Amino acid sequence: MPAPETAAPAKLKYAERPEWADVEPLQQYEIANPLAPILYSEEYKDATDYLRGIVKAGERSERVLELTEHVIRLNPAHYSAWQYRYETLVALSAPLDVELKLMDEFADKHLKTYQVWHHRRLLLLLTRKPAPELALIARILQRDEKNYHTWAHRQWLLAFFNEPSLWEGELDFVDTMMNKDVRNNSVWHHRFFVVFQSGVREGEEDRERILKRELIYVKQNISLAPNNASAWNYLRGVLEHTRQPFGSLAAFVQPYTVPLPASTTDIVDLENPPPGRDADLPCAAAIEFLADVYEERGGADNVDKAVELWRSLANEHDTIRKKYWEWRIREALATSS
Amino acid sequence: MAPTTTMKPIPTDGFPTPTSSAQAETVKVLLEHFVAESSVPNLQKNAHMQFLMRNLSQGFPQRYTSQDASQPWLMYWTLQAFSVLQVGLDPGNKQNAIDTIMASQHPDGGFGGGPKQAAHLLPTYASVCALAIAGRPGAGGGWDQINRDQMYKFFMSLKQPDGSFLVAHHSEVDVRGIYCLLVVATMLDIITPELVEGTAEFIASCQTYEGGFSSASQPYYAPSNSDKPTLLGSPRPALGEAHGGYTFCALASWVLLQPFLPSTSTKINKKALVRWLVQMQGAPVELGGFKGRTNKLVDGCYSWWVGGAFGLLESVGIDPAAVSSSVRSDTQAEDGDWDDVDDSLLNRKALQEYILFAGQHPAGGLRDKPPKPADSYHTLYCLAGLSSAQHRVFPSAARRRDLLDSWTDTVDGGDQEAEAKENALRKRIFVEALSYTQEEGTETVVGGAVNRVNATHPIFNLTITHSDAMMAHFYGQVLPPRTLQRPAQT
């Protein structure tokens, strides 16, 4: 853990500063010996004593902004300091561009903290200027490609403001991130959000075409790295969302369920891109998919084929999930008999 | 030691990316900590107790300043870890715990992350659960000093038009907060149809195409004739991908909302949920630990958030034991005794091995994975995950009958019809929550009896004893004694 930073090094404690003399600092505990106390630094204790004093007095002033910034720098998860800061900014009609600039720095330093992102959101609800935000988010995601809050923030921004210009570059952004790491599940989720879950935008009305585009996209990515759970989950998600039978993909999936053939053909089949030469086959996700195809088709013969595949997962290809595959077998047999 | 033959490397298809590289590094470290399946280490109960006790009596080191707004959590994690380790506190420390927790109650309802901090749903859950462990009824006991009227008002003040709740004023919406609110409202007998209107729909909207749940969803509204705009059922996109912590909170919330759901209402996709949950269990080379998202690394805390979520499946109608035994014999013929009694869908044995081999820090306390340090959060959630992997705690029909038989209505002398309706709902909430019962004789304790820990309530993450006592108090009920529950013979 990095050492706590100081907003103003070598600055006097609040207790020693005449301009704070009118504030009565408030100790945290009134009881004598709290159990399991945190052993704070002197600086933190001093600053939070004054924060408690300010909150009790209900003061809204410039110096409250200084104090809350100080506390937040020492502990960015101090949600009460954030809350009080936000209310003070509003009460003072403080310049929000200045605050956002400060927040750019915080987003870089404390990108894993809920409050940093939520405070930005509150500010954006006031400024109503979402456009510059996308570039900042993209920059943060270059550094921390799977940051949950950052992705959720981007999705909120797009969905809430819902301006065509904001959505314009989104699929290109997905591609950029996907090219860095095709196994980044956050990127796959973002693609699903953009394509299927946020309404139909201009130019995307032909859903047949969109479905075809997405299937080609995911199949090519599976061909690139077959044992990528994110891609298979996306494929399943697309089919379920658009109510397409899994069976429509059987021809594509089949070659992934068996060992790699000794010689591969060089025919380029865009509909059914084959596994690459370095693929680790058979691929458990493909076997699972094919079993689902058989189960979907129904009838005793097909269920038998599905059971055989599940058994190969349980006993050979995916033994950690043995119990689950055996349950799938029992369920399928119970419903088919 | 050489990995066993079942330990296939994670396939990378000759196409490395940052995800597969991080994965490979983690596997390497994990395998260094794996000795042999035949020599599973003991759970170092003493070392873990020392670790917890040190924090409790000497205080948390300065680096815990980042948890200054989560002080009730530090207390809850510590006390509940003791409970799972079968250790109780002495009366002096208990009183000290009660007084410390009560200092964080906010005058306008709820609990804050510390004294004089704003009220927040997360520390409210942690405070109430810590009080379930350390507190008692009567003066100075904490339970009767919880201001339930103000707490209800605080909850209502956070309510959003889409059925969700802010975690605190001017703060974010997310399903962790909803789980915390529903647990507290259920335990304290302040849950009402008004409080939870629309909440189930919100939870359902957080389920992603992967089957797990995200942090929140984005509502859209259309104008309508009345003052209130109409909430659209679609689009209502999930914000963020499926995630272990959010999935546990969403599923547990869904279970707690059952008494309020008409049978025809909103649904969740259970099949996709089960699939996602089992997919989160890591491969043998990851020692069978759980991850929190697709293509992320295993982490000890998901032993509870994902591993523990399996304990809730029976409550939403997924009961692997229900399939007929004739079909079962077909697939389990060659298995040993263990598998005969184990109907769970996760690999309970592997999960315990992850915690024992990789989750324990040599100096005491438990952790995410080696070489990380131990902390209070991971200590509890590794232990709670270990507990859920050892014990089957299930909603028992027999216990439900006993509770129904012993129930007494509360009579306030108001409108009789309204009162009867209210009592019927309270009864159902109470009975469902306390029907969870530990099945005797089906424990699967890796490493032998010395590694056994206490069972924990699959929704609340409190022991059954603590859950029973607190709810009996707030619902004004006398509980029938619990009898041993053996598995049904088939």
pLDDT of residue B78: 98
Alpha-carbon distance A130 to A157, whole Å?
Answer: 7
> In a 10 Å sphere around its CB, with 0-12 CB exposed, 13-18 middle and 19+ buried, how is residue A250 labelled?
middle
- B243 labelled catalytic: yes
Phi-psi region of B446 (alpha: psi -120 to 50; beta: other; left: phi over 0): beta
> Structural domain boundaries of chain B?
25-63+75-86+166-223+230-320+342-475, 64-74+87-157
CA separation for the pair B186, B178 (Å, rounded):
12
Cβ–Cβ contact B64 with A under 8 A: yes
Give CA–CA dist B20/A141, Å, rounded.
18
What is the per-residue pLDDT for B445?
95
Among the listed residues B106, B378, B399, B457, the single catalytic one is: B378
The pLDDT of residue B334 is 43
- What average pLDDT does range B27-37 have in this prediction? 89
Contact A50, A25 (CB under 8 A): yes
Instruction: Note if B302 is an active site residue.
Output: yes
Q: Which residue has the higher pLDDT, B28 or B490?
A: B28
What are the chain B neighbours of A197 within 8 Å (beta carbons)? 235, 237-238
DSSP one-letter string for A135-198: HHHHHHHHHSTT-HHHHHHHHHHHHHH--HHHHTTHHHHHHHHHHH-TT-HHHHHHHHHHHHSS
pLDDT at B44 over 50: yes
Using a CB-CB cut-off of 8 Å, the residues of chain A touching B288 are: 320
* DSSP assignment string, A37-88: -B---HHHHHHHHHHHHHHHHT--SHHHHHHHHHHHHH-TT-HHHHHHHHHH
Q: Report the distance separating Cα A134 and Cα B415, nearest Å.
A: 57
Nearest Cβ partner for A152 among B96, B215, B279: B215
Question: A89: which residues sit within 8 A by CB, 6+ positions away?
Answer: A65, A96, A99
B46-66: pLDDT as tens digits: 999 999 999 998 999 999 999
pLDDT at A265: 66
- Of B483 and A165, the structure prediction assigns the larger pLDDT to A165
Say which of B100, B210, B296 has its CB closest to residue A34: B100
Distance CA B316, CA B207 (A): 15
CA distance A315 to A325: 9
Contact check, Cβ <8 Å, A4/B65: yes
- pLDDT (0 to 100) of residue B490: 43
Q: Is B345 on the interface with A (CB under 8 A)?
A: yes
Cα-trace Rg, chain B: 23
Q: Where are the beta strands (DSSP E) in B430-483?
A: 436-438
pLDDT of the residue at B227 = 77
Residue B295 identity (one-letter amino acid): N
B468 is catalytic: no
Distance from CA of B404 to the nearest CA of A (A): 32
| Predicted local distance difference test score (pLDDT) of residue B264 | 61
For residue A48, CA distances in Å to A83, A149, B99 come to: 14, 27, 21
Report the distance separating Cα B141 and Cα A76, nearest Å: 33
The Cβ-side half-sphere exposure at A211, using a 13 Å CA radius, reads 15
Please choose, from the candidates A79, A32, A101, A23, the residue with its C-alpha nearest in 3D space to the C-alpha of residue A56.
A23
Structure tokens at B169: 């004023």
- Give the tens place of pLDDT for each residue, A63-122: 999 999 999 999 999 999 999 999 999 999 999 999 999 999 999 898 888 899 999 999
Give the integer Cα–Cα distance in Å for A275 and A256: 7
Q: Give the nearest partner residue to A159 out of B61, B96, B237, using CB atoms.
A: B237
**Catalytic-role residue among B301, B369, B457, B475:** B301
Q: Is A55 on the interface with B (CB under 8 A)?
A: yes
CA-based nearest distance A242→chain B, Å = 11
pLDDT of residue B443: 87
Inform me whether the C-beta atom of residue B351 falls under 8 Å from chain A C-beta atoms: no
| B196 has pLDDT over 90 | yes
CA–CA distance from B116 to each of A14, B77, B84, B313 (Å)?
19, 21, 31, 39
pLDDT in tens, B367-414: 999 999 999 999 999 999 999 999 999 999 999 999 999 999 998 888
Beta-carbon count within 10 A of A259 CB: 9
Encode chain A (337 residues) as per-residue pLDDT tens digits: 455 555 555 579 999 999 999 999 999 999 989 999 999 999 999 999 999 999 999 999 999 999 999 999 999 999 999 999 999 999 999 999 999 999 999 998 988 888 999 999 999 999 999 999 999 999 999 999 999 999 999 999 999 999 999 999 999 999 999 999 999 999 999 999 999 999 999 899 999 999 999 999 999 999 999 999 999 999 999 999 999 999 999 999 999 999 998 876 666 777 899 999 999 999 999 999 999 999 999 999 999 999 999 999 999 999 999 999 999 999 999 988 6
Q: State residue B239's pLDDT score.
A: 97
> Given this structure, which CATH class describes domain B25-63+75-86+166-223+230-320+342-475?
mainly alpha
Report CB contact under 8 Å: B170, A83.
Answer: yes
Query: Is there a contact between B72 and B83 (Cβ–Cβ < 8 Å)?
Result: no
| pLDDT at residue B19, rounded to an integer | 98
**Of the ranges B69-83, B222-236, B266-280, which one carries the lowest mean pLDDT score?**
B222-236
C-alpha span between A306 and B67 (Å, rounded): 50
What's the confidence (pLDDT) of residue B39?
85
Predicted confidence at residue A263, as pLDDT, reads 74
What's the Rg (C-alpha) of chain A? 28
- Exposed / middle / buried, residue B141 (Cβ in 10 Å: 0-12, 13-18, 19+): middle
Q: Residues B294-345: pLDDT tens digits?
A: 999 999 999 999 999 999 999 999 988 876 444 444 444 444 444 555 778 9
Strand, coil or helix: B132:
helix
What count of Cα atoms within 13 Å lies in the side-chain half-sphere of residue B38?
3
> How many Å apart are CA B479 and CA B477, to the nearest integer?
6
B182 touches chain A (CB under 8 A): no
Dihedrals phi, psi of A77, to nearest 5 degrees: -90, 10
Say whether A320 and B103 touch across the interface (CB within 8 A): no
What's the pLDDT score for residue B64? Answer: 96
pLDDT (0 to 100) of residue A156: 97
Please write the tens of the pLDDT for every residue from B231-279.
998 899 999 999 999 999 999 999 999 999 976 678 999 999 999 999 9
pLDDT digits (tens, 9 = 90+) for B427-463: 999 999 999 999 988 889 999 999 999 999 999 999 9
Statement: residue B468 has pLDDT above 50: yes
Instruction: Give me the pLDDT at residue B321, please.
Output: 80
The residues in A 187-206 lying below 8 A from B, measured between CB atoms, are 188-189, 192-193, 196-199
